[in-house]
Chain A
Amino acid sequence: MMLQYRASLVIWLISHVLDPLVYLVVWTTVSRSSGGSVGGYDAAQFAAYFIVLMLVNHVTYTWIMFEYEYRVRHGSLSFALLRPVHPIHSDLADNISSKIITLPLILAAAGILALIFHPVFQVQPWAAAAFLPALLLAFGVRFLMEWTLALAAFWTTRVSAINQVYFIAALFLSGQMAPLSLLPAPLRLAASILPFRWTTSFPVEILLGRVGWTEALTGLCVQAGWILVCLLLLRLVWRAGVRVYSAVGA
């Protein structure tokens, strides 16, 4: 269904490649001007970081926070409520299927970026093994968290401001604009206490060998913990939200 809209695919690709590309260039410039390396990253390692980040982002990102306002305002949620299964199932299926379709595109983009920026990887076998569960758990945390936050649309029609606050927090705290180790200590702490690090940055850190195996194991447990917390919150917020939902415009 998506393949008909080739122009939208191009836009999608640009918006997903441009951000990591820009920050990669910025940090590469910084590392060059300060003697080749910044905070333990040289140009090739920045390249590796942002290319892997782009791929991890592709697996974990969701667009549900943009959609819910529309669903509530136009009442299209009413139909989903009539079905015998929780609407999160169809969102999950949507998310996964559209990512499978776009996967070749993002892989090609990653390949081209790798040709241009020459990233350096040294992947330990255990890190490669831990990467996959970390990635899947990161998707779980992010999907459940953003789905829960999207439910804010039940209470207010001005979710764009809420979304913006969330995306700015995510920009800094999930490692989108810089590896978390480069941020000031308070931000780094916030990233680990809040779910942000566990939605994106953590799998990247594992694959690039930036965390030891004990820390990796602890991290996997934290991710699992966040999934449980988010599941619980999701249930509570969903119940309360459905009660206030009154299908505007239906």
Chain B
Amino acid sequence: MRYLRLLWTFFRVGVMGEIAYRANFFVQLFESLLELGTAIAGLAVIFSYTSTLGGWTPDQVLALVGVFFLVGGAIRLVIQPSLEQLIESVRDGTLDFTLVKPEDAQLLSSIQRVEIWKLTDVGLGLVVLAVALVRLGSGLGALHAAGFAAALIAGGVIVYSFWMILATSAFWLVRVENILMVFQSMYEAGRWPVSIYPGWLRFALTFIVPVAFAVTVPAQALAGRLTWQVLAGAWLFAAALFTAARLFWRAGLRRYGGASA
């Protein structure tokens, strides 16, 4: 609860910082709408030649696109800006200020900056998801919804832990923004069901850059093709990665030398 309140506080700070630049909202909305329009137009072209893509119907792929925007928006909303700032502060020593605060430093570092306009991506993702759900219709029950929520939570934890591990490597490598960019560009591949990719690429998108868990697995729940084994596996992987991120963070902090001053 306290953590949520903290997140809310940072969120309010983000709002206050940005509210003066309201034109940015429209630019961001315009760009998000364009990106969404592109994704849907691409689907329209592809599904004019086929009725299913790797076993996925158009509406199921639409749901996948919704999840893609939702998760991508959430990453760009807090995880990416906060962890970029963490990397920066490891380099210039301002992490000191975070460490002396009476809250958990990993938590503070993970939510310290909120780019509120990225909410447009989250919002559009939800809209697309809702449209896809309506079109998928009555085939969905409470079980699907529960499976979706469970898979989405696991996926969120996995993506967060993965970013956290990458950002924490800044304690040793110092300049790691580039590694984050690799994830950003690989994330784009998650726009499609990972099942269509050849084995080696599917493996990379599942375990090296865990896009599959973040996007495909939750969408699978809505497409009614999520098995218990996959869901359990996702939760196990999430728990393992989260623990690893925590341990890695501790090791990183021990390594941290503080401000150069």
Contacts and interface: CB of A to CB of B under 8 A. Distances in A.
Decide whether A and B are members of one complex: yes
Interface of A: 7-8, 10-11, 14-15, 18-19, 21-22, 25-27, 29-30, 33-34, 38-39, 116, 158, 160-161, 164-165, 168, 171-172, 177-178, 182-184
A33 B50 contact: yes
A160 B26 CA distance: 13
Interface in B31-57: 31, 34-35, 37-38, 41-42, 45-46, 48-50, 52-54
Q: Which of A19, A38, A168, A183 has the most CB of B within 10 A?
A: A168
| Interface range for B | 20 to 34
Contacts of A19: 188
Contact of B46 (A11, A30, A168, A171): A30
14 contacts: A7-B175, A8-B178, A11-B178, A11-B185, A14-B186, A18-B185, A18-B188, A19-B188, A22-B191, A25-B192, A29-B196, A30-B50, A33-B54, A168-B34
What DSSP secondary structure best describes chain B's contact surface? helix
Given A11-B181, A14-B182, A168-B38, A26 B46 contact: yes
Interface of B: 27, 30-31, 34-35, 37-38, 41-42, 45-46, 48-50, 52-54, 175, 178-179, 181-182, 185-186, 188-189, 191-192, 196-198, 201
Given A26-B46, A116-B198, A164 B185 contact: no
Contact of B49 (A38, A116, A158, A172): A38
B243 to A, nearest CB: 28
Contact of A34 (B35, B49, B182): B49
Contacts, number: 79
B31 A22 contact: no
Contacts of A22: 188-189, 191-192
Contact of A184 (B45, B175, B181): B45
Nearest to B54: A29
Contacts of B192: 22, 25-26
What DSSP secondary structure best describes chain A's contact surface? helix
A39 B197 CA distance: 21
Contacts of B49: 30, 34, 38-39, 182
Contacts of B186: 14, 18
Contacts of B191: 22
Nearest to B192: A26
A183 B44 CA distance: 10
Contacts of A29: 53-54, 196
A190 B189 CA distance: 28
Contact of B197 (A25, A161, A183): A25
Contact of B34 (A7, A14, A25, A164): A164
Nearest to A163: B31
Contact of B45 (A7, A18, A177): A177
A181 to B, nearest CB: 12
A212 B54 CA distance: 34
A39 B192 CA distance: 21
Contacts of A182: 45, 49
Contacts of B181: 11
A116 B199 CA distance: 11
A95 B129 CA distance: 42
Contacts of A7: 175, 178-179
A22 B31 CA distance: 22
A22 B189 CA distance: 7
A183 B45 contact: yes
Contacts of A178: 45-46
Nearest to B52: A33
